[in-house]
Amino acid sequence: MNEIKSQRKIIQVGNSLAVTIPANVAHKLKVDKGDMLDVAFRKNNQLDDEFEAGLDAAMAQYDDALEILNGGDQA
């Protein structure tokens, strides 16, 4: 399967919403108007840096306890 990742903005086309495919991507995928594509949809909700840093710190602090709870070797 050919896969090219790109962030695209949703636009309004009449009463529908659409996502455009850049010409260079269409060329690389060898697709043209009227071709069918399989599409997967995923909203990318990223964690903010402060929350992610706090989560990393908590994971490091409680790593041994989390490992035991996960069924790992007990210390």
Taking only the tens place, the pLDDT of each residue in 19-69 is: 999 898 888 889 999 999 888 877 777 777 888 888 888 888 988 888 888
Look at 32 and 74; give whichever has higher pLDDT.
32
Query: Is 3 part of a structural domain of the chain?
Result: no
Which residue range forms the structural domain that includes residue 51? 10-69
pLDDT at 70: 80
Judge whether 14 and 40 are in contact, CB under 8 Å.
Answer: no
Pairwise CA distance, residues 31 & 46, whole Å: 31
Domains in the chain, number? 1
Pairwise CA distance, residues 72 & 75, whole Å: 9
Query: Is 20 part of a structural domain of the chain?
Result: yes
